Amino acid sequence: MNPHDEHKEGIGGMANPGRYGIERIAYWLMRLTGLGLLGYFIAHIYETSNILRGQVGWDEFLDLTQTTEGHLFLTLVIGMCVFHTVNGIRVMLGHGGIGVGKPARPDYPYLPASQNSQHKIGIYSAIVLAAIAMVYGMAVMFGE
């Protein structure tokens, strides 16, 4: 099919969050962290199944993951998990119609009530909390 048939913006347009503010960046981060966490979850299930190989098998696998790279990866996972959780709660509340403003007669310059400071604070909080959790996670993993 000719790409002009539907003239869809495609993943490139979806992935270009700069034009639409922090809400669009949060949308994109939510997707990426979700996919990342699913990947980690599958890997974690495989990782823990090594316990069935006995102590030698478990220790062998642990040696592979308990490295500096492994800890850095886990730090990233912590960040993804915290962002996905906090932003997920914000999105869920929004989906229920909570904190999206009340319908009213719009006045120029027509600032959308749904794009309010509560949600912006929610997004920034998710980013800040993810950063704090990552620092804490690094302190725990590298501190031992």
Partner 1 sequence: MLRLPWYTEWLLCLVNKMRESHIMKIHYGTALAAIGLVAVHILMRLTQGFAESLEYESVIENYKFLPYAGLLEIILILLSIHGFNGLRVILLELKQGRIYEKAVSYGCVAAMIGLIAYGSRTIIMVNTGMI
Partner 2 sequence: MAQTPSIAEEKTSSAVSSSKSITLRIARFNPQKDSDTSFMEFKVPVEKWTTVLEAILDVKKHFDHSVAVRYSCRQATCGSCGMVINGKPRLACFTKISELNSDTVTVEPMHNFPIIRDLAVRFDRLFNSHHKVKPYLIRDDTDVSSDTKEILQSPEELEQFIQFSNCIKCGLCNSACPTMATDSSFVGPQALAQAYRYVADSRDKGKDNRLKIIDESHGIWRCHFAGSCSQVCPKGVDPAMGIQLLRGYMLGFRS
Q: How far is the CB of 115 from partner 1 (least distance, A)?
A: 22
Q: 22 to 41, contacts with partner 1 by CB under 8 A?
A: 31, 34-35, 37-38, 41
CB contact at 8 A, 51 and 44: no
- Of 5, 68, 117, 143, which one interacts with partner 2 (CB under 8 A)? 5
User: Hey, CA dihedral for 119, 122, 128, 130, is it positive or negative?
Assistant: negative
User: Taking the CA of residue 10 as centre, how many other CA atoms within 13 Å lie in the half-sphere pointing to its CB?
Assistant: 6
What's the CA gap between 67 and 99, in Å, rounded?
43
Q: Of 43, 51, 113, 121, which lies in the binding site for partner 1, with binding defined by CB under 8 A?
A: 51
Q: Which is nearer to partner 1, 20 or 142 (CB)?
A: 142
Q: Which of 16, 20, 48, 131 binds partner 1 (CB under 8 A)?
A: 48
Report CA-CA distances (Å) from 70 to 47, 64, 65: 12, 8, 5
- CB contact burial 56-91 (16+ within 10 A = b; e otherwise): eeeeebeeeeeeeeebeebbbbbbbbbbbbbbeebb
Nearer to partner 2, 89 or 132 (CB): 89
Shortest CB 18 distance to partner 1, Å: 21
Neighbours of 126 (CB within 10 A): 24
Interface ranges with partner 1 (CB under 8 A): 11, 31, 34-35, 37-38, 41-42, 45-46, 48-49, 51-52, 54-55, 58-59, 62, 66, 81, 85, 88-89, 92, 95, 140-141, 144
Interface ranges with partner 2 (CB under 8 A): 2, 4-11, 13-14, 19-21, 23-24, 26-28, 30, 91, 94-98, 100-101, 103-108, 110-115, 119
